[in-house]
């Protein structure tokens, strides 16, 4: 067969095949690019208005130059159309809509035509190469990849991946890390973006997921899913915390990740330039998890506020600096790991605070209830924190206090209610002076003090309040400089949950006529059903992971065994 193919045709195929192999793209794409280049040159020779097509045989390299005209009833363009009568002279069976094809003589490429053809081929091949790179890497986000440093530009490291280039930006490099051309490094594929100049493969060595992926490579149990990495927090190049849990009660997740004599964790530490790693057991109990996360510090007491995900941790005086860590590193990483805001205080500080709170409550009860110091102290010592609690608890909770009979308890509650009524009347007068409308005041769940707070924030009508979202009122969290920061809400300081606030807003929307009561009830029913289904699915998944199909008959026993093993 080769004898029938001229040298230039063989050369054409050889060039196309070499380009396809070098760029890692299909031969058909290269041949199509060459066809476009020849077509462009042919149109320059025979006229741009002509419909000229090029066919290259991928086996022989034969190139055909074809001029195509369409058979039409009425000719509007002589260059691309032909009448049925003229067409039937050449092809008797021609019909409307057929194409008449004439083969044209080959085109001699001059210097300008050659340069133009080269540009077309290079452009098409480059586009195909970029598309190939994007398709190859777009589904590999989350993987670890190895590459050779090609160059360093303004602190950004460009890697040669063999079949493409990737960049590790300066802020995604571990501090004090220096690379030179020729160095081989590993990094985490953080993102792959399709851009005009080609796919941008963004790598990172500081992403917490990079550490999780390294453990998956070093610890077979993590790779196989027996051990799960639930959370990672990093101060790149310095210290990190990683929370792990085992789906097999017989396997210690911390020990498996540490390895024999620390071999597994040491391999990760070496890759991360000596970054110290604390491996802690994950727990569904927030308090236990946070205590684990503050290791190596010892914790004596914790107080959780689940509504705002905030926890107060009490440590021995000598453990304070250890719990906080150098420049706050230990508590900051524990906060990132658990997702909770952590306040740390010593036992002495907590004692001082308790005494201050006790004195403040005593003073409050003495003034509001017009009682002597001893009675006020008894109420405060029994855990009463506000006048509202005293006013509305069952009377038995007050008569339970030693020395308080029923008559005394009722008198104290009456005084508390009178005090609340006076305060509410004053607050109601204040909100009227601020212009907060009566329609808003009539909304269920909004207290007079809340109305004043709303007026201070220029929310004065029912429509104003109906247009709020829950976060505006309860506060929200933002990540700033990799730290979770809480932004204050209008109702900060009031004992209301996000669910209660959402109910207030929806009631206001019903009252404002934005939605009907029936629509609200249907929406709540749908939401309750979705939550129930999600909870059931999560429970089923958890049981399947921790118990296995054969143990479903005794979930409680196995579940307890799994927790105790941790």
- Interhelix angle for 448-456 vs 406-434, to 10°? 30
Which residue do the tokens 């085109």 mark? 107
Pairing of strands 310-315, 341-346: parallel
Which of 322, 318, 324 is CA-nearest to residue 343? 324
Supply the CATH number for residue 368's domain.
Answer: 3.30.300.20
Both tokens of 330, joined, read: 């230990």
Per-residue pLDDT, 386:
87
Q: How many Å apart are CA 448 and CA 438, to the nearest integer?
A: 11
Work out the percent of the chain whose per-residue pLDDT is above 70: 81
Per-residue pLDDT, 198:
66
Supply the CATH number for residue 171's domain.
Answer: 2.40.50.140
Both tokens of 256, joined, read: 């498996």
Q: How confident is the model at residue 541 (pLDDT cuts 50, 70, 90)?
A: low
As a whole number of Å, the end-to-end CA separation of the chain is: 73
Domain shared by 194 and 295, yes or no: no
pLDDT for 135-153, tens place per residue? 777 778 888 888 899 888 8
Domain shared by 106 and 162, yes or no: no
pLDDT for 244-293, tens place per residue? 999 888 889 999 999 888 889 999 998 888 888 999 999 888 888 888 88
Q: What is the mean pLDDT of residues 489-518?
A: 88
Q: How many Å apart are CA 36 and CA 354, to the nearest integer?
A: 83
Q: How confident is the model at residue 346 (pLDDT cuts 50, 70, 90)?
A: confident
Per-residue pLDDT, 97:
75
Is residue 447 included in any domain, yes or no? no
pLDDT for 190-230, tens place per residue? 888 877 666 788 899 989 899 999 998 899 998 888 999 99
Supply the CATH number for residue 123's domain.
Answer: 3.30.1480.10
Burial of 30 (0-12, 13-18, 19+ CB in 10 A): buried
Q: How many Å apart are CA 179 and CA 195, to the nearest integer?
A: 26
Number of domains in the chain: 3
Domain shared by 123 and 16, yes or no: yes
Is residue 86 included in any domain, yes or no? yes
Dmax (CA) for the chain in angstroms is: 123
Q: How many Å apart are CA 130 and CA 36, to the nearest integer?
A: 19
Lowest mean pLDDT among 34-38, 82-86, 399-403, 555-559: 555-559
Is residue 433 over pLDDT 60? yes
80 or 335: which leads in pLDDT: 335
Which of 321, 239, 338, 322 is CA-nearest to residue 284? 338
Domain shared by 21 and 127, yes or no: yes
Q: How confident is the model at residue 118 (pLDDT cuts 50, 70, 90)?
A: low
Q: What is the mean pLDDT of residues 475-484?
A: 70
Is residue 361 included in any domain, yes or no? yes
**Cβ contact 330:322 at 8 Å:** yes
Which of 169, 204, 239 finishes a domain?
A: 204
Is residue 466 included in any domain, yes or no? no
H-helix or E-strand spanning residue 39: helix 27-46
- The residue segments making up the domain with residue 186 are 141-204
Domain shared by 154 and 109, yes or no: no
Is residue 556 over pLDDT 60? no
H-helix or E-strand spanning residue 188: strand 184-193
Per-residue pLDDT, 481:
67
Q: How confident is the model at residue 549 (pLDDT cuts 50, 70, 90)?
A: very low
Is residue 7 over pLDDT 60? no
Domain shared by 97 and 18, yes or no: yes
Q: What is the mean pLDDT of residues 94-99?
A: 76
Is residue 431 over pLDDT 50? yes
201 or 2: which leads in pLDDT: 201
Q: How many Å apart are CA 207 and CA 245, to the nearest integer?
A: 21
What sign does the dihedral 203-209-211-213 (CA atoms) show? negative
Average pLDDT value over all residues in the chain: 80
Which of 385, 420, 441 finishes a domain?
A: 385
Burial of 253 (0-12, 13-18, 19+ CB in 10 A): buried
420 or 123: which leads in pLDDT: 420
Is residue 243 included in any domain, yes or no? no
Per-residue pLDDT, 112:
55
Domain shared by 185 and 116, yes or no: no
Q: Reduce the DSSP state of residue 498 to 3 states and report it.
A: helix
Q: pTM, whole model, 2 decimals?
A: 0.57
**Cβ contact 149:178 at 8 Å:** no
Both tokens of 3, joined, read: 């004898």
**In angstroms, how far is CA 559 from the centroid of its own chain?**
30
Domain shared by 290 and 371, yes or no: yes
DSSP 223-275: HHTSEEEEEEEEETTTEEEEEEEESSTTS-HHHHHH-GGGHHHHHHHHHTTT-
Both tokens of 486, joined, read: 């809480």
- In the sheet where 341-346 sits, what is the strand order? 301-305, 310-315, 341-346
Is residue 450 over pLDDT 70? yes
Both tokens of 211, joined, read: 């550490």
Is residue 483 over pLDDT 80? no
Most confident of 82-86, 174-178, 356-360: 356-360
Is residue 185 included in any domain, yes or no? yes
Per-residue pLDDT, 561:
31
Per-residue pLDDT, 165:
82
Domain shared by 64 and 14, yes or no: yes
Per-residue pLDDT, 12:
63
Is residue 509 included in any domain, yes or no? no
Which of 189, 204, 219 finishes a domain?
A: 204
Alpha helices, DSSP H, located in 283-328 = 286-293, 320-324
Per-residue pLDDT, 418:
92
Is residue 346 included in any domain, yes or no? yes
């Amino acid at each position: 067969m080769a004898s029938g193919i001229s040298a230039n045709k063989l050369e054409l195929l050889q060039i196309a095949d070499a380009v396809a192999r070098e760029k890692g793209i299909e031969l058909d794409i290269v041949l199509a690019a060459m066809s476009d280049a020849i077509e462009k040159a042919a149109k320059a020779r025979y006229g741009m208005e002509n419909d000229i097509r090029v066919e290259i045989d991928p086996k022989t390299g034969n190139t055909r130059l074809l001029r195509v005209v369409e058979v039409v009833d009425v000719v509007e363009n002589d260059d691309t159309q032909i009448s049925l009568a003229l067409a039937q002279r050449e092809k008797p069976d021609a019909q409307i809509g057929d194409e008449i094809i004439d083969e044209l003589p080959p085109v001699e490429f001059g210097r300008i035509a050659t340069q133009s053809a080269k540009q077309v081929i290079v452009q098409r091949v480059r586009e195909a190469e970029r598309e190939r790179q994007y398709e190859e890497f777009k589904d590999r986000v989350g993987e670890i990849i190895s590459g050779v440093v090609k160059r360093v530009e303004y602190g950004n490291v460009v890697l040669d991946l063999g079949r493409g280039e990737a960049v590790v930006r300066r802020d995604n490099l571990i501090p004090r890390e220096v690379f030179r051309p020729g160095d081989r490094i590993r990094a985490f594929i953080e993102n792959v973006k399709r851009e005009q100049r080609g796919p941008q493969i963004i790598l990172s060595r500081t992403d917490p997921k990079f550490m999780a992926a390294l453990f998956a490579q070093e610890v077979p149990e993590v790779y196989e899913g027996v051990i799960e990495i639930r959370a990672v927090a990093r101060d790149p190049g310095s210290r990190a915390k990683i929370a792990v849990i085992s789906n097999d009660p017989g396997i210690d997740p911390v020990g498996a990740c540490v390895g024999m004599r620390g071999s597994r964790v040491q391999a990760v530490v070496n890759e991360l330039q000596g970054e110290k790693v604390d491996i802690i057991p994950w727990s569904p109990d927030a308090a236990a998890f946070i205590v684990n996360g503050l290791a190596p510090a010892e914790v004596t007491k914790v107080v959780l506020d689940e509504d705002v995900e905030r926890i107060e941790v009490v440590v021995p005086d000598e453990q304070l600096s250890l719990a906080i860590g150098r420049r706050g590193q230990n508590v900051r990483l524990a906060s990132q790991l658990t997702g909770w805001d952590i306040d740390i205080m010593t036992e002495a500080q907590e004692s001082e605070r308790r005494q201050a709170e006790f004195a403040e409550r005593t003073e409050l009860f003495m003034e509001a209830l017009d009682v002597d110091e001893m009675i006020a102290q008894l109420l405060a010592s029994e855990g009463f924190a506000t006048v509202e609690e005293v006013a509305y608890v069952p009377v038995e909770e007050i008569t339970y206090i030693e020395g308080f009979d029923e008559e005394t308890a009722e008198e104290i509650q009456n005084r508390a209610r009178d005090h609340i009524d006076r305060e509410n009347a004053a607050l109601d007068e204040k909100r009227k002076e601020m212009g907060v409308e009566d329609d808003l005041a009539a909304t269920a769940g909004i207290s007079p003090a809340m109305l004043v707070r709303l007026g201070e924030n220029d929310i004065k009508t029912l429509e104003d309040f109906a247009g709020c979202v829950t976060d505006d009122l309860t506060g929200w969290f933002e990540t700033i400089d990799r730290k979770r920061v809480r932004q204050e809400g209008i109702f900060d300081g009031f004992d209301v949950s996000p669910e209660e606030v959402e109910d207030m807003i929806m009631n206001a929307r019903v009252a404002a006529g934005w939605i009907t009561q029936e629509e609200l009830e249907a929406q709540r029913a749908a939401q309750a059903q979705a939550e129930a289904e999600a909870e059931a699915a999560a429970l089923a998944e958890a049981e399947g992971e921790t118990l296995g199909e054969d143990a479903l008959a005794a979930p409680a026993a196995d579940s307890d065994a799994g927790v105790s093993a941790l």
